Amino acid sequence: MNFLEKILQQLTQTPNRSVLQEVRDGQFVSATCAQFLQQVRAARTFIRQSGLKKGDRCGLLAPNSIRWAAMDLALMAEGVIVVPLYSRQAPNELVGMLKDCEAAMVICGDETLRDGIANNWPTNSPPLILFDQVFATTPTSDIGDTPNPSADKDIVTIIYTSGTSGEPKGVMLNVANLNHMVPCTGSRLDQLMESKTEQTADQVFHYLPFCFAGSWILLLTALSRNSLLSLSTDLNKLADELKLAAPNYCLNVPTLLERIRTGVESQIATKPAFIQSIYHNGKAAWLHQYESKGRAGLAFKLANWLIFANIKKKIGVNLRALICGSAPLAKETQLFFSMLGIKVLQVYGLTETTAICTMDDPNDFTPGRVGPAIPGIEMKLGEGGELLIRGPHIFAGYWNKPEATASSLLPDEDGNWFRTGDQGDVDAKGNWAITGRIKNLLIMKSGHNVAPEPIEEKVLFNLPTAQQCVVVGNDKGFLAALVTGDLTNEQVQTAVDAVNADLPHYKRILAFHISKEPLTIESGLLTANGKLKRDVINKHFANEIEELYRSPKG
């Protein structure tokens, strides 16, 4: 059986089990397996009646919901290639992707999303269909719960990369990619939940858009397991929804975890001096023990009893782990959660690698690293320290871009290696660390090559109220930084001085510019999943950057 057959079989075997629920206004709106399958059947009936054929591309534009998941399964079951789109992305960018993949139809969550496409595609657009139209369809008697036969090489989805430079590319993932990845993620979750009784469903909370590869893999994995997946519907109420869902685990991005840490420490700073002392002494004692310098002792026990345990309770009483991906997480943040008694497990991968290459072992992980390669995956370092990857999870290619596909692969006598564009290193235990992006390297006039990401991470760690930090200095004599947020020169200078103290001279930041307005997706300065568009940022702030280099520094 392929991955989709296993998911549908899992759903049919437990018809009365709640499988998905949405958090709406502090209440759960749930669907049992039987109810969810009925929605899948309605969507499959609509697809057949609409004339969509196997191999056609269909855009799926909506925020996360039970109906999104049902639509996704229905399209895959009918052999239609799903093109998931980010509901917050600019409509003109979405139209560009839909035109590129020659979409035969676009299914939209609401009228606003539909109208955004229609206004930017006034002529010769494909049918733009609303969820309400799809799920009002009465399933016909010939619709079952078995997907149409699919070969391993059949394309399941085209997921457009976020495009940090240049135009987004459509990453094609096939049945074989999913057949390998979904059991791998399920196996790791089995390890995490190994002491759970068989009858109890995993409680999973989810807020990241399903149109991103890692988020989608979690959805498919949850549907293939005995899980109850709770979907956030309001990011402004994330803390309340997380508390209500009381999950065993959830998938996160570093930004959220770092905000939790800085939020906690900002609150501690407002407490009476003796509370602050207990917190900082307890933290120091825990780090002392972590670094194998001795036992944490009474200072930690007191802080854990009075402070740490209460913080953990507010974050999640049933948490086994917070799973983190999309970008490297600051080691200090991972240690912070460990101090509270919450595991943070890192995952590394790209859309082209079916989202995942490495996963932390829940029982043996190293803070600051992203874990070992998952079973069946080969990883090695190539020229310039570039991370090369090979395995059954490597994508089928970029849609209609054979040259881009060829340039992303490095052939050798045993097959092709995928060139990740990431720099990394591996320790003696096989745990990998991601140290930067090759294309982001700053080549300075001194001849030094500097990865900006670790420096940016350190600045933000020392400046918790900042929104973003972008280090610049390509073809320059020194490094400078753009920092966003409601900050003073004194605050930024203090953070920069703290960072510079531990860096060699050529890695020190000698000038900075503060922008009160944060970089956003809507302004075009961040990708759809929040990554820096460095080339665009450099052009946008060209005058400010030029001013930083007018006067000599040293």
**For residue 553, is pLDDT > 80?**
no
% pLDDT > 90, the chain: 73
Q: How far is the C-alpha of 23 from the C-alpha of 199, rounded, in Å?
A: 24
Average pLDDT, the chain: 92
Q: Give mean pLDDT, residues 508-527.
A: 90
Residues near 168 by beta carbon (within 8 Å), at least 6 away in sequence: 93, 96, 97, 160, 161, 162
**For residue 554, is pLDDT > 70?**
no
Say which DSSP state 65 is in. Answer: -
% pLDDT > 70, the chain: 97
- Rounded (10°) CA dihedral 433, 436, 439, 444: -140
**For residue 295, is pLDDT > 60?**
yes
| Residue 196 pLDDT | 66
Q: Which residues pair with 379 in a beta bridge?
A: 389
Q: How many CB atoms lie within 10 A of CB 315?
A: 18
Inter-CA distances, 111 with 15, 62, 72, Å: 32, 10, 19
- Domains observed in the chain: 19-149+194-239 (3.40.50.12780), 254-317+320-437 (3.40.50.12780), 441-548 (3.30.300.30)
pLDDT band at 167 (very low <50, low <70, confident <90, very high): confident
Q: How far is the C-alpha of 224 from the C-alpha of 219, rounded, in Å?
A: 9
Tell me which of 21 and 463 has the higher pLDDT: 21
Q: How far is the C-alpha of 399 from the C-alpha of 96, rounded, in Å?
A: 13
pLDDT band at 165 (very low <50, low <70, confident <90, very high): low
| Residue 192 pLDDT | 94
Q: Which residues pair with 386 in a beta bridge?
A: 423
Quickly count helices (H) and strands (E) in the chain: 19, 25
| Residue 80 pLDDT | 98
> Residue written as tokens 């606003």?
112
| Residue 386 pLDDT | 93
Q: What is the pLDDT of residues 447-467, one digit of tens each?
A: 788 889 889 989 998 888 898
Q: Give mean pLDDT, residues 227-246.
A: 92
| Residue 166 pLDDT | 60
**For residue 216, is pLDDT > 70?**
yes
**For residue 77, is pLDDT > 70?**
yes
pLDDT band at 164 (very low <50, low <70, confident <90, very high): low
Q: What is the pLDDT of residues 40-64, one digit of tens each?
A: 999 999 999 999 999 999 999 999 9
| Residue 296 pLDDT | 83
**For residue 415, is pLDDT > 90?**
no
Helix (H) or strand (E) holding 58: strand 57-61
pLDDT band at 504 (very low <50, low <70, confident <90, very high): confident
Say which DSSP state 164 is in. Answer: S
| Residue 551 pLDDT | 67
Residues near 162 by beta carbon (within 8 Å), at least 6 away in sequence: 168, 527, 528, 529, 531
* DSSP E strand stretches across 225-292: 227-231, 249-252
Q: How far is the C-alpha of 394 from the C-alpha of 351, rounded, in Å?
A: 9
Q: How many CB atoms lie within 10 A of CB 421?
A: 16
Q: For the purposes of burial, counting CB atoms within 10 Å of the CB of 197, is it exposed (0-12), middle (13-18) or buried (19 or more)? A: exposed
pLDDT band at 523 (very low <50, low <70, confident <90, very high): confident
Q: What is the pLDDT of residues 326-342, one digit of tens each?
A: 877 888 899 999 999 99
Q: Which amino acid appears at position 454 of this protein?
A: P
Residue among 93, 88, 92 at smallest CA distance from 109? 88
